[in-house]
Structure 1
């Protein structure tokens, strides 16, 4: 349960990463998916889990997937910009 919460918190930060990367469409999509992700989470915690392949289920896993894609994009950008900064110092 703790690992899921960690990934959900990372997913909640992802729209801000997309905005920093100037990917506003991705930020908007991730924000919509985040609503479904948190609704699904609270439904699972306080009630019974919805059926597999239901809309909240799809939004939950799609949000986690898009969040991981966003973090990879952010890390790649971070590495590219740090290499250009290192080249400018040499």
Structure 2
């Protein structure tokens, strides 16, 4: 009975080892654990694109930031004036 159990265990282990061997992935030179197929040529092509110009967008963002700063200053000045109006004269 013990020999049968040991034989079954060995058989199961051999089968598990064979399954692992079948699913093993061999190391490929120049590759890491994940595939990095983004080539230098593709990177260069993307870097060389000239159909996209974000200068206008950047200018709009700068203008909005400036306006926001101005509005924050206006708000603070209005708060100070309201506080002065609410403070009773001594």
The structure with more helix, counted as a fraction of residues: 1
TM-score after normalising by structure 1: 0.37
Q: Give the greater-gyration-radius structure (CA).
A: 2
Task: Tell me which of the two structures has the higher relative contact order, counting C-alpha pairs closer than 8 angstroms and 6 or more residues apart.
Answer: 1
